[in-house]
Amino acid sequence: MLRVPKYYRVKNEILELIADLAPGSAVDTERELAERFETSRTTVRQAIAELVVDGRLERTQGRGTFVAQPKLMQVRQLTSFSGDLQAQGQRPGSVMLRIDEQPADEEVSSHLEVALGTPIHRLERLRTAAHEPIAHEIANLPGPLPDLANQLALRGSLYRTLDEVFGIQLASVEDIVETALADPVEASLLGVDTGLPILLVHRTARDADGRVVEWTRSVFRGDRFRFVARHGVEVPVPAGS
């Protein structure tokens, strides 16, 4: 018989306890939960920590533990961060941390398929939903893009700016998604604890001619985001058709 750790049983009991609570509702303290479930505070603390990582609870220093908002969904198609959130009725936002032009280093030149030292545009942004930090991204773009900062500020969406101002349209993207742990810098930017699981996404986008027009490194909060990939399925044609 499989032995279930005690904290795991407490975790499921807490899930039942919060099942009907609205997001933002306060959860009992560790001491109160330990008394309710007749266990130690250490066990309760471990259960809560895992629920925070799962995105079911959130902790606020000095205030307590609360039921978390449902995870946002990023659909892996030819869509933008802004478009995905708007489709879910969310208010996307962006804080420009840095935008400049610099020579491509070895890593960037390899991903953008340009010569080492080629001038590229580098955009570093903090992406938000309803003013809550959700993702930190660094986009690298090749080619002359005059007045990019002002044009992007007017439109908000990078893909819309590339299309409307520079005539650059995306034809295909490749996303590589992996898990990682938030380092102190990322944790500070996203307002989470160092070591929180994050989703690390590297996106390479190409135009219709196959030219790389974007390489972006994005870090998404693992407690607030989930990714959904949707693809068409090619149906085999029966022999003899």
Residue 171 belongs to a domain with what CATH number?
3.40.1410.10
Range of the domain at 97: 72-229
CA distance 205 to 207: 7
pLDDT per residue rounded down to tens, the chain (241 residues)? 456 688 888 988 998 898 888 888 999 999 999 999 999 999 999 888 888 877 788 887 778 898 887 765 544 454 555 555 555 555 667 889 999 999 999 899 999 999 999 999 999 999 888 788 889 999 999 989 999 999 999 988 899 999 999 999 988 888 888 888 888 888 889 888 888 888 888 999 999 999 999 999 999 888 777 776 665 545 555 555 4
118 lies in the same domain as 187? yes
pTM exceeds 0.75 for this model: no
164 lies in the same domain as 51? no
The vertex-165 CA angle with 162 and 168, nearest 5°, equals 40
C-beta separation of 220 from 199 below 8 A = yes
- Picking from 67, 96, 118, the residue at the C-terminal end of a domain is 67
92: burial class by Cβ within 10 Å (0-12, 13-18, 19+)? buried
